[in-house]
Amino acid sequence: MRFLAVIKPRLHIFSIISIIASLLIILPLLQIVFGLFTPASDAWIHIRTHLLRGYLFNTMILIIAVAILSTSIGLFTAFVVTRFEFKGRQLLSWTLILPLAIPSYIAAYIYVDMMSYTGTFSRFFRAIFNAEHGINIMNMPGAILLFSLTLYPYVYMFSKSALEKQSASYEENARLLGAYKFRIFWRVILPLLRPALVAGTLLVVLETLNDYGVVEYLNIRVFSFAIFDAWFRLGDTAAAIRLSGVLMLVVFVIIFIERVLRGKKRYYMHVKNRPIKRVSLRGFRRVVYPGVLLLILSFGFLFPVLQLLYYARLTFFDVMNMAFVYLVINSVSIALMATLIIVFLAVMLANFGRKHDHILKRGLLKITNLGYAIPGAVIAIAVMLFFIDIDHRLYPIYRFFNPETRRLILTSSLLMLLFAYVLRFMAIGFNAIEAAYDKIGMKFTEASYSLKQTKLKTLLKVDVPLIQGGLVTAFIIVFIDVIKELPLTLILRPTNYDTLASSVYRYAREEMIQESAVPSLVIIVIASILIYWLTHRKKKVVSKDVRTN
């Protein structure tokens, strides 16, 4: 009845941008949902009878094992770094994030090479242990190790920040109540860490499900492999869409189970935050703990990078030319563009959703963030079909300006690729910015409104400076993700457009691992520098004062 009066004060430019953006994101995804209801094709029946069971089984094994292993590594490293004092702790505490700079597919290419008969590791083992056979990592255990080694930093980062924030009073209380160290860990520290562990592990699982490069190279028959297989080998888009429907179901079940298990427990309560004092390591632990961390770092980062450096030295002059310079410029500029768009839209959406006051709005935001749960393969199909459809609809307009025009203007343009990146990585930017908004709460914004400032001025003068940290975080992690991204880039990039990731893939596919070293290293160096920035930027004094209520 008072619809206008209720809606009007909320319908400002930010809401409009947000609503349009989320609709644009939802529409292509709807196509996938509708695809589920098309009649079953022969290929689908073939997949269902011969392959589906294997896909499900392999996918389950892979994500469960990767989740367990990466969570263990991430938790262990985070615990050691936050609770113990030892030489080199500072250095390790940020370098342990570096494996994130290596895309899983590059790790796979280089590890397979190192482990192959002619590879560095195999020759090393032959020389030292006189072992006849190398270690074959082109199988499920190999994939599990590769994913865990490159993805554990997600768990590490979340756990580390949670452990640093965890107040000493819980632990001291537990000790006063007579609990032993072991018990304290299992009954107090771990349960309190759970939200962080779940968040980190969920990211690991989603990244694993999204990957195509590794599972293709190692021939691990999981869902993203199956989707590409159905799409390309069997030439059946509908079957590919059905498979992705099943995959999405798996993701939702995982998320749902976590929600149910969490139940009504709360993990955050405001307790005066007194950081825990780090204990100096003694005896054999002084060597063993840092040693294990160094070993993890070596396998996750140092060894692959060293091998790549060696190959880069061998092939540098074959690969280095003007085209390569353009490759770098392309990668950086498209990542920059995608990142800026994502951060901008994320600010709009976060602003739009700050007051979770309407169920429709909540739903809209949830769906907007769905992209991250959907493997690149599926997003690629959806975006491609969506853009062709748009072009057909816009054709009369094109013709109005230029009677000779082609029909497909937007399809296979840079815009399409950008759109796909936005769809896929929106959630990452959004979550970083939403977290920053949560931290400052509504009061500063409301204070600004009460001082007669417009929404735009409030955003620029009050919100943006206060969530600056969140903006930088969003920028860095989205940028790293885009520059590493493979499946979308491969399928949707415009004519004559190559990026570092696509060229690495191309070389690896042509079985020229040595030649792939230079572009791989450029990706890794860029990502590493950004990680360094992320971990070393100065926290401004102001943010300390932002008290939460």
Partner 1 sequence: MYVQIEGLDFSYEKNEPVIQGVSFSMQEGEIVAVLGSSGSGKSTLLRLLSGLEVPNEGKIMIDEKMLCNRQQFVSCEKRNVGMVFQDYALFPHMNVEKNIAFGLKGYSKDAKKKRIETMLKLVNMVEKQHAYPHELSGGQQQRIALARALAPEPSILLLDEPFSNLDADLKMRIRQELRTIMKQTQMTSIFVTHDYDDAKAIADRIVFLENGQIKYEETL
Partner 2 sequence: MRTMILALFFMTLLTLSACTLGVDNDQDSLTIYSERHYDSDQVLFDLFEDTYGIKVNVISGNADPLINRLENEGEDTQADVLLIADAGRLGRAKTMGLLQAVESDVLNTQIPAAYRDLEGYWYGLTKRARVLVYHPERVDERELSSYEALGEEPWASRVVTRTSTNIYNRSLMASMIEIMGYDAAKDFAFSLVQNFARTPTGNDRDQAKYVVEGGADVAIMNTYYIGRMMNSADPFEREVAETVKVFFPNQKTTGTHVNVSAAGVTKHAHNVSNAILFLEFLSSEVAQESFANANYEYPVNEAVAPHELLQSWGDFKAQDIHLTVLGKHAYDAAILMDEVGWE
The residues binding partner 1 (CB under 8 A) are 2, 5-6, 8-9, 357-359, 443-444, 446-455, 458, 461-462, 465-466, 540-547, 549
**Greatest CA separation for the chain:** 84
**Which secondary structure element, helix H or strand E, spans residue 279, and what is its range?**
strand 279-280
C-alpha to C-alpha distance for 379 and 405, rounded to whole angstroms:
28
Closest CA to 69 of 207, 205, 210, 257: 205
Instruction: Map residue 433 onto helix, strand or coil.
Output: helix
Q: Which of 3, 37, 117, 401 binds partner 2 (CB under 8 A)?
A: 117
Stretch that binds partner 2, among 46-54, 251-259, 293-301, 341-349 (CB under 8 A): 46-54
- Identify what 547 binds: partner 1, partner 2, none; CB under 5 to 8 Å per kind: partner 1
**Paired strand residues for 85:** 280
- Identify what 9 binds: partner 2, partner 1, none; CB under 5 to 8 Å per kind: partner 1
52, burial (CB in 10 Å: exposed 0-12, middle 13-18, buried 19+): middle
Place of tokens 């509708």: 34
Stretch that binds partner 2, among 59-67, 113-121, 289-297, 527-535 (CB under 8 A): 113-121
**Paired strand residues for 280:** 85
Nearer to partner 1 among residue 54 and residue 465 (C-beta): 465
Q: What is the DSSP string of 321-388?
A: SHHHHHHHHHHHHHHHHHHHHHHHHHHHHHHHTSS---HHHHHHHHHHGGGGGS-HHHHHHHHHHHHH
Q: How are the residues of the chain apportioned to helix, strand and coil, as percentages rounded to the nearest 5?
A: 80, 0, 20
Residues binding partner 2: what is the number (CB under 8 A)?
63
> Which tokens go with 256?
């749902």
Q: Which of 36, 294, 332, 367 binds partner 2 (CB under 8 A)?
A: 332
39: left (phi over 0), alpha (psi -120 to 50) or beta: beta
C-alpha to C-alpha distance for 332 and 519, rounded to whole angstroms:
12
- Identify what 264 binds: partner 1, partner 2, none; CB under 5 to 8 Å per kind: none
Residue 123 sits in the site that holds partner 2 (CB under 8 A): yes
Q: Would you give the binding string for partner 2 spanning residues 467-496, x where CB under 8 A is met?
A: -----------------------xx-xxxx
Q: Which of 111, 152, 231, 303 binds partner 2 (CB under 8 A)?
A: 231
- Identify what 391 binds: partner 2, partner 1, none; CB under 5 to 8 Å per kind: partner 2
Nearer to partner 2 among residue 292 and residue 388 (C-beta): 388
Tell me the closest approach of the beta carbon of residue 356 to partner 2, in angstroms: 34
Q: List Cα–Cα distances, 254 to 64, 203, 331, 376, in angstroms.
A: 11, 12, 34, 19
Place of tokens 């809209």: 364
Tell me the closest approach of the beta carbon of residue 408 to partner 2, in angstroms: 4
Tell me the closest approach of the beta carbon of residue 105 to partner 1, in angstroms: 42
Nearer to partner 2 among residue 276 and residue 408 (C-beta): 408
Contact residues for partner 2 (CB under 8 A)? 46, 50-51, 112, 116-119, 122-123, 132-134, 136, 138-139, 218-219, 221, 229, 231-235, 237, 311, 314-315, 318, 326, 329-330, 332-334, 336-337, 384-385, 388, 391, 406-408, 411-412, 414, 490-491, 493-498, 506, 509-512, 514-515
